[in-house]
């Protein structure tokens, strides 16, 4: 697999191999099974970036659960107020155990907005499972109990994450070269 990828005249260097990502997903599946297998949770998959992670994770969860998709658009350099819902949860979340399935948590703005909405909709609890987590830039109030891999605060693509719609299909994770 290529060590470097060039997209839109930007150079990205390989950061995490597919095997490393797969091991992290397996470990998350084990932890989620341990904590939620008797709670019939609703898995809220955040589009678009989480689609590959969700497909890999959810197929390793062998217990009753519901799946719903949401989409929220954030505008660069803005705060929570500038997030726009494109697809809201289409399920009754009243008294349900909810797990938000995120590809990456950076500042946490998106996550906090989703969490607020889920609680407003009457959920019993709302946890987050994010594959990638940038702890150095995180400013959210919610504790991230389920994450796959911590990464440095640099822009990454691959395994669902994109730059201008490109790079989502890369099986490894690539980091923008400085
Ligand atoms: P936050 O609201 O700052 O936590 O950012 C969350 C969202 O921004 C993610 O769901 C991604 O869509 C996007 N994002 C954050 N960091 C990256 C990155 O390094 N690459 C691609 N998308 C990112």
Identify whether 75 is part of a domain. Answer: yes
The minimum-distance atom of ligand 1 relative to the CA of 105 is: 4
Identify whether 70 is part of a domain. Answer: yes
**Distance in Å, CA 92 to ligand 1 centroid:** 27
Give the domain range for residue 78: 23-165
User: Encoding tokens for residue 25?
Assistant: 């997903």
**Distance in Å, CA 34 to ligand 1 centroid:** 28
Identify whether 17 is part of a domain. Answer: no
Pocket test for ligand 1, best of 45, 104, 136 (most atoms within 8 A of CB): 104
Average pLDDT over residues 30-44: 98
The pLDDT value given to residue 79: 45
Is there a cis peptide before residue 48, judged by omega within 30 degrees of 0?
A: yes
Average pLDDT over residues 12-26: 98
Is the pLDDT at 146 greater than 50? The verdict is yes
pLDDT tens-digit series, residues 95-110:
999 999 999 999 999 9
Percent of the chain with pLDDT over 90: 93
Is the pLDDT at 77 greater than 70? The verdict is no
Q: Say how many domains are in the chain.
A: 1
Identify whether 14 is part of a domain. Answer: no
Dihedral of alpha carbons 17, 177, 145, 136, sign: positive
Residue 118 sits in a domain whose CATH number is: 3.40.50.2020
The pLDDT value given to residue 76: 60
- Residue 35 — very low, low, confident or very high, per pLDDT cuts 50/70/90? very high
Identify whether 5 is part of a domain. Answer: no
Identify whether 103 is part of a domain. Answer: yes
- Residues serving a catalytic function are 106
Average pLDDT over residues 30-59: 98
**Distance in Å, CA 105 to ligand 1 centroid:** 6
The minimum-distance atom of ligand 1 relative to the CA of 48 is: 12
- Residue 178 — very low, low, confident or very high, per pLDDT cuts 50/70/90? confident
């Amino acid at each position: 697999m290529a060590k470097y990828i060039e997209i839109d005249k930007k150079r990205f260097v390989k950061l995490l191999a597919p095997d490393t990502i797969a091991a992290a997903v397996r470990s998350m599946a084990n932890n989620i099974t341990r904590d939620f297998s008797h709670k019939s949770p609703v898995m809220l998959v955040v589009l678009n970036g989480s689609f590959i992670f969700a497909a890999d994770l959810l197929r390793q969860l062998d217990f009753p659960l519901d799946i719903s998709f949401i989409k929220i658009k954030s505008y660069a350099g803005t705060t929570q107020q500038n997030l726009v819902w494109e697809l809201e949860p289409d399920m009754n979340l009243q008294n349900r155990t909810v797990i938000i399935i995120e590809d990456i948590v950076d500042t946490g703005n998106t996550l906090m907005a989703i969490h607020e909405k889920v609680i407003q909709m009457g959920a019993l609890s709302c946890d987050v499972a994010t594959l990638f987590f940038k702890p150095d830039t995180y400013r959210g109030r919610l504790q991230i109990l389920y994450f796959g891999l911590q990464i440095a605060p640099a822009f990454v693509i691959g395994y669902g994450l994109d730059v201008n719609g490109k790079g989502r299909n890369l099986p490894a994770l690539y980091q923008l070269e400085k």
